[in-house]
Amino acid sequence: MSIVVTGATGHLGRHVVEQLLEKVPAERITAVVRDEKKAADFAARGVRLAVADYNAPETFEGLFAAGDKVLLISGNEFDSDRVRQHTGVIEAAKAAGAALLAYTSAPGTLKAALADDHRATEQVLRASGLPYTLLRNGWYHENYTERLAPVLEHGAVVAAAGEGRVSSAARADYAAAAVAVLTGEGHENRTYELGGDEAWSFAEYAAELSRGTGREIVYNAVTVETMRGILTGSGLPEPLADVFAGVDASIARGELVVDSGDLSRLTGRPTTPLAAAVEAALKA
């Protein structure tokens, strides 16, 4: 029986596999990838590789075995039918008799269009009869700290989030929660609302950048329409611009504040502070 991680070479998947290797023998881990070359480092350490593609559900047939614990990391192709993609994995896991399928979803408070595919996938998973765990991941620090170049160039954080706050955490924190579920017991048919211990505002984020760079970084709050125009003007397709501008609107309404404490309880430690993520990003 394996612990199977889909999307294993993605940003989150890599963290999960690396942390699993600290807890279980490599031969108990199966990394599902589209390109074996990108997972050569895992294979060299004894991790089993399986090649499958969300867009080809037949590639998941026979991939799972009875008793496997599966982490379904949600697809990131927003212009595709993600619910169909996820359903193929769920059906293959059910047919194999998997012991648990954990799914990386979105916070239950999030009403933006970004959450629609997650809610639909949750319904499919519940209806499947598979033992499940819903890991409703909040926002990642890296959503902001990996795109610092334009912020530093213009000396401004631009968002349509008003005075809204975000309970973000590091990808490594969310990966640790997934690992706790995959290697622990008693998580069947549970839903965890996951977010950072401390919510922050964009004004506070700009102040943190100012401290880290030694120069003034301001927060420019704009309208959703203006934000959409900025995003499309930078080359983002309109559907994606609508998604990201919609998330800003959700932040303004308080929909990305997650105060359950589930993330730090699952991992057994405090979540990574935003300040630490900003410091690491600036050093990089």
Q: Which domains does the chain have, with CATH numbers?
A: 3-138+171-194+259-267 (3.40.50.720)
Closest CA to 170 of 263, 266, 78: 263
Model confidence over 14-56: pLDDT tens digits? Answer: 999 999 999 999 999 999 999 999 999 999 999 999 999 999 9
What is the torsional sign of CA 45, 92, 36, 172?
Answer: negative
Q: 116 near 104, Cβ under 8 Å?
A: no
Model confidence over 234-266: pLDDT tens digits? Answer: 898 998 899 899 999 999 999 999 999 999 999
CB within 8 A of 113, min separation 6: which ones?
242, 243, 246
pLDDT score for 66: 97
Q: What is the pTM of this model?
A: 0.96
Model confidence band, residue 77 (pLDDT cutoffs 50, 70, 90): confident
The fraction of the chain above a pLDDT of 70, given in percent, is 99
Using DSSP bridges, classify how beta strands 165-166 and 200-201 pair: parallel, antiparallel or unpaired. Answer: antiparallel
Mean pLDDT of the residues in the chain: 96
**For residue 273, what are the CA distances in angstroms to 40, 65, 251?**
32, 39, 19
pLDDT score for 79: 61
In this predicted structure, the answer to whether residue 147 has a pLDDT above a threshold of 70 is: yes
pLDDT score for 240: 87
The single-letter DSSP state of residue 99 is S
Model confidence over 114-141: pLDDT tens digits? Answer: 899 999 999 999 999 999 999 999 999 9
Cβ neighbour number for residue 222 with a 10 Å cutoff: 17
Residue 32 phi/psi, 5° resolution?
A: -90, 125
Model confidence band, residue 172 (pLDDT cutoffs 50, 70, 90): very high
pLDDT score for 284: 87
What is the torsional sign of CA 229, 231, 234, 236?
Answer: negative
Angle at 107 between CA 170 and CA 158, to 5 degrees: 60
In this predicted structure, the answer to whether residue 168 has a pLDDT above a threshold of 90 is: yes
The predicted model gives 219-230 an average pLDDT of 96
